[in-house]
Structure 1
Amino acid sequence: MKIDSSLSAIVTGGASGLGLATVQALRTAGAKVAIFDLNEEAGLKAAEETGSVFCQVDVLSDESVDAAFAKAREVNGQERVLVTCAGGGNAIPTARRDKKTGEINFFPSDKFEFVLKLNTVGTFRCITRAAAGMMSLEPLEGDRGVIINTASAAATEGQMGQAAYSAAKAAINGMTLTIARDLSREAIRVNTIQPGIFDTPAMARATPQMKEALGAMVPHPPRLGVSEEYASMALEVVRNGYINGTTIRLDGGIRMQPR
């Protein structure tokens, strides 16, 4: 699918990191973009800097998501591209013993459930709305639309404490082919990008030494990924009409260690 001024796109989590880089790349290519993000301050700033429309949205809420899609479509028209970057995680062992007191604690179920709702259900909530909207369009170069989801290396090599995040991202991988099959008759392609360790705002607390050590774990190139590389892959998935129903690893060949 050609990316130009006739194309409307939505990027969730578009106010920072991988999402913002994707917004910038789409705008550079000429597309109209709506930024979906919970952070109003960052979202408004990103929208102003990129010439996009900002829609404050909580992906945990049907009403919030529906309102955001309605606003984006009112301004930019029906989207043909959805890139879902909204998400997050926590780091809690399944069960652990306090080294000092010997007290045993376990992973609170509500915190596990929240991560699944934020990543998996939040992603699916946006997919369903986008797919229904795309079905109202006529095919363009064979496609009515393209949906791109974001997983993580944790989906396949989750580290200690990542049980919830691994489960949530593995579910995104797992539903990719199924949703692609569901939407194949409607000429809507569905794919997932599975990034490794990227230098995003989530790494803000890491020291330069920590980042260097993490980068050295990557076989080649031995560095952290940069958001622009994710954005480049996302745009290639949009443009390449034969990429469908798959998860693409974008990680320099890394396979995560237990910790």
Structure 2
Amino acid sequence: MDIKSTAAVISGAASGLGEATARHFAAQGAQVCLLDRDATRGRAVAEEIGAHFIETDVTDSASVEQAIDVARERMGALTTAVNCAGIAVGIKTTGREGPHPLEPFQRTIDINLVGSFNVARVAAAAMARNDPDARGERGVIINTASIAAFDGQRGQAAYAASKGGVVGMTLPMARDLAKDRIRVMTIAPGIFATPMLAGLPQDVQDSLAAEVTNPPRLGDPEEFARLAAFIVGMGYLNGEVIRLDGALRMR
């Protein structure tokens, strides 16, 4: 699909990778609708880039269903969904205070995995109603995993499990939606310069960047956004997970 004729919803779009993707898509001529719980920041970004904003809780089915309906009404179509909403916790399976609390584990799974599937399933139903384009496509869904899905570190049981689930559902979802000519792809980013890392001391950020094989730096969210746009336009990419990590292998 041509990015200029794309009508996209992007979850987690008020900051980080989602915001960068929204900005890049809009700059390339796409229609964009930002979905996020942060209404203040989400509306500000949307206004700045000439996009739409809908306050959305990705873990709530009614909230997502309403958001997709409104987005489709505002843009006149829905051809792309990019899932960037997510959280990270750092808790070991057992520690000085006992076992890993269950609530943060469940919350991480709910937002990162269930939330991604929630948006994807509702967006796919909307895309299935599209008329196929010149190449027969009706839409594309891009989920966000993490390299932690493959080599999660200590304290990342919840995060790695949630992102591993995103990786695991990529191929079966692509197979499910093949009949509707909807593609499904996943990006697994490494360590990126997002607000999640911005709060760390500079020496810690520098240490993390030095671990990246080449180039030895943190990823730029714009690079994630450019890859997402490339996936939209590259119709033969489907059912695959792309690591975007500078060859980093965490240990």
TM-score (norm 2): 0.97
Instruction: Report the counterpart of residue 25 of structure 1 in structure 2.
Output: 24
Q: Larger radius of gyration, structure 1 or 2?
A: 1
Q: 1:155 aligns with which of 142, 149, 156?
A: 149
Q: Where do 5+ consecutive residues of structure 2 fail to align?
A: none
Q: Does 1:238 align with 2:211?
A: no
Secondary structure of 1:249 counterpart: strand
Structure 2: distance between partners of 1:60 and 1:29: 30
Superposed CA offset, 1:120-172 (max 9, x none): 11000000111000010111122100000000111111111110110000000
Structure 1: distance between partners of 2:198 and 2:217: 16
Superposed CA offset, 1:185-242 (max 9, x none): 1110000000000000111211222211111101100000000000010000000011
Provide the aligned C-alpha RMSD in A.
Answer: 0.9
Secondary structure of 1:245 counterpart: coil
Shift of 1:112: 1.2
Instruction: Report the counterpart of residue 2 of structure 2 in structure 1.
Output: 2
Q: Amino acid of the residue matched to residue 229 of structure 2?
A: L
Structure 1: distance between partners of 2:212 and 2:131: 43
Q: 2:106 aligns with which of 113, 137, 152?
A: 113
Superposed CA offset, 1:6-49 (max 9, x none): 32110000111111111111111111100000001110111011
Instruction: Report the counterpart of residue 101 of structure 1 in structure 2.
Output: none
Shift of 1:110: 2.2
Matching of residues 50-199 of structure 1 within 5 Å: 50-96=49-95, 98=96, 105-140=98-133, 141-199=135-193
Bigger drift between 64-73 and 178-187 goes to 64-73
Q: Where do 5+ consecutive residues of structure 1 fail to align?
A: 99-103
Instruction: Report the counterpart of residue 203 of structure 2 in structure 1.
Output: 209
Q: Percent identity?
A: 45
Structure 2: distance between partners of 1:211 and 1:164: 22
Structure 1: distance between partners of 2:210 and 2:137: 40
Secondary structure of 2:3 counterpart: coil
